[in-house]
Structure 1
Amino acid sequence: MTSASAFWIAAVRARETGRGAPLFIDPFAHDLAGDYGYATMAASERVAGGENAFIPVRVRWFDDLTMTSAAAGVRQIVLLGAGLDTRAYRLDLPADADWYEVDRREIFQHKEPVLAEHSPRCQRHIVIADLGGDWAEPLLHAGLDPAARTLWLAEGLFFYLTEPMIVDLLHTAAALCGPASIVAADIIGTAGLDAAAMRGYRDWCDRNGVPPPFGADDPAALLHAGGWRAEHITTPGAADANYGRLPIQPGGRQPGRTHLVTASLATS
């Protein structure tokens, strides 16, 4: 199901790229999505009753955070559960930045042929690993410097994990980076787990013995449990996560709602 979501999100990025005044341009998304991605997007939107307006906003929010971090000197970035992401190719990243993409083999088997004729803007490293297993060793083997300041990106990831898996992942990330490192994630609120759009995925989880979708209303507590201190918490629609696309909402922690969060290494 997570592989299906990667194709779906690629289709959403492709559609956004074709809009007037898009929030971002992803010239690779259409080919990566393929017919399967568009079909998956259409099926999702039939169940949900329309487009998910948050996804393009989320992509842009993570884009902006990535570029701001690079401008501040971060040169090591790890994308956990990379899916069909193309930021290493489409963002104007520093050429000396090391960009690590961690995901399962089947993702890269589809992705690499599509991108083969293109060059990344930075030093891109693919890391074949399952985030439910040992991914630290493959990441280190790929060249990760565990003493370097690092930006960890967990976009659209926690939804598919259990709380113990998330806490373990956060602890592992904390042990693999240096001072002033940052982790960024989106965390759906518990109210959203019961939405009509979730029924198909919940049914799929039940049929396949997969844990149900994860949500939490206290992102700071979740991150703290994994060794990180929340620095900034906002919600889709707030001034810093809107881009003129969503109904205006207050920022900060809003129980029941989705949050976009950045955190630094906890000191105690």
Structure 2
Amino acid sequence: MVVNTAYWIAAVRARESSRPDRLFDDPFARRLAGERGVAAMTASERASGGENTFIPVRVRWFDDAVLRAVADGYRQVVLLGAGLDTRPYRLDLPGDLDWYELDRPEVFDGKQPALAGTTPRCRRWTVAADLVGDWPAALTAAGFDPERRTVWLAEGLFFYLAEESVLGLLRTAAGLAAPDSRFLADIMSAAVRDLPSMRAYQEYRARHGIPEPYGCDDPAALLRSGGWYPEAITAPGAPDANYGRLPAAPGGVRPGRPHLVTGRTLPADAG
């Protein structure tokens, strides 16, 4: 189901890229999504009653956050649950940036052929590992340097994990993170589980014995529990998470809504 979600998100990125007012351009999304992605997107929107307007905003928010970090001198990124992401190919990234993608082997088995013959703009490393297994060893073996400040990304990931797995990922990343590292994530509200659009996924979860999808209305507390200082929290529709697509809304914590969060390890010289 999670792998199928990656194709769905790729299809959403492809459709967004075809809009004249697109928030980003992903020229690789259509070939990655294929018919499987279009079918997944169509089924999702049929169940929910329309397009998910949050996803393009979320993609752009992560894009902007990555580019700001690069401008601030960060040269190491770890993308947890990479799926069919293409940022190393489509963003204006420096050649000396090391970008590590972590996901299960079957994800890369489907992704790599679609990107064959295409050159990333930075140094891209794929790490085939289960995020509920010993992924730090695989990441380190791929060349990850825990002494370098790092941008950690968890986009569209936490919702599909159990609470203990979310906390485990945060704490493990914090243990590997050099001072002044960042953690970027989107965190869904617990209320999302009960939406009509989630019925198909909830039925699938129940049939396969998968734990309840994760939701949280106190993202600051979650970050602190995971070993990160909550630097910034916003919600879709806020001035920094809108891009003219969503009804205007205030930023900060808004229970019942998704949140886009930035956590940080303290600088080495912090008092």
> TM-score band, normalised by the shorter chain?
over 0.9
Within a 5 Å distance, the mapping from 1:7-18 to structure 2 comes to 7-18=7-18
**Does structure 1 residue 237 correspond to structure 2 residue 245?**
no
Listed as ranges, the gaps of 5+ residues in structure 1 are none
Deviation of the 1:212 alpha carbon: 1.7
Q: Is the 8 A contact 2:177 2:265 kept in 1?
A: no
Aligned to 2:58: 58
Matching of residue 208 in structure 1 with residue 208 in structure 2: yes
Q: Do the aligned residues in 2 keep the contact of 1:158 with 1:187 (CA within 8 Å)? A: yes
The amino acid that maps onto 2:63 is D
Partner-residue secondary structure (3-state), 1:96: coil
- Give the AA of the match of 2:83: G
Aligned to 2:227: 227
Query: Which segment is superposed worse, 185-194 or 58-67?
Result: 185-194
Matching residue's letter, 2:142: A
Shift of 1:88: 0.3
Deviations 1:162-210 (A, max 9, x none): 1111111111111112110000000011222211111110010000000
Say whether residues 1:132 and 2:132 are aligned partners: yes
Shift of 1:14: 0.2
Q: In structure 2, how many angstroms separate the alpha carbons of the residues matched to 1:48 and 1:214?
A: 19
- Find the counterpart in structure 1 of residue 163 from structure 2: 163
Residue matched to 2:104? 104
Are the aligned partners of 1:145 and 1:177 in contact in 2 as well (CA < 8 Å)? no
Q: Match of 1:264, as an amino acid?
A: R
Q: 1:256 aligns to what? A: 256
Amino acid at match of 1:236: P
CA distance in 2 between counterparts of 1:227 and 1:99 reads: 23
- SS for the counterpart of 2:124 is strand
CA RMSD of aligned residues (A): 1.0
Q: Which runs of 5+ in 2 are unaligned?
A: none
Determine the C-alpha separation between the residues in 1 that align with 2:11 and 2:51: 12
Equivalent position of 1:6 in the other structure: 6
Counterpart-to-counterpart distance in 1, 2:242 and 2:184: 17
Q: SS at 1:44's partner residue?
A: helix
Q: Distance in 2 between matches of 1:6 and 1:107?
A: 9
Confirm or deny that 1:94 pairs with 2:74.
no
SS in 2 for 1:124: strand
Q: Which amino acid aligns with 1:106?
A: E
For the residue of structure 1 that corresponds to 2:94, the secondary structure is coil
Q: Secondary structure at the match of 2:65?
A: helix
In structure 2, distance between residues paired with 1:243 and 1:202 = 31
Report SS of the residue matched to 2:125: strand
Deviation at residue 226 of structure 1 after TM alignment? 0.8
- The one-letter amino acid paired with 1:139 is L
1:45-98 per-residue CA deviation (whole Å, 9 max, x = no partner) reads 000000000000000000000000000000000000000000000000010000
Number of residue pairs matched by the alignment: 268
Distance 1:192 1:169 in 2: 22
1:79 alignment counterpart: 79
Question: Matched residues in 2 for 1:138 and 1:172: separation?
Answer: 13
Give the aligned partner of residue 114 of structure 1: 114
The letter for the 1-side match of 2:93 is L
**Distance (Å, rounded) in 2 between the aligned partners of 1:160 and 1:191:** 14
Moved over 6 A (4+): none
CA offset digits 1:113-156 (Å, max 9, x no partner): 11111000000000000001110000000000011100000000
Task: Give the Cα–Cα distance (whole angstroms) in 2 for the partners of residues 115 and 190 of structure 1.
Answer: 36
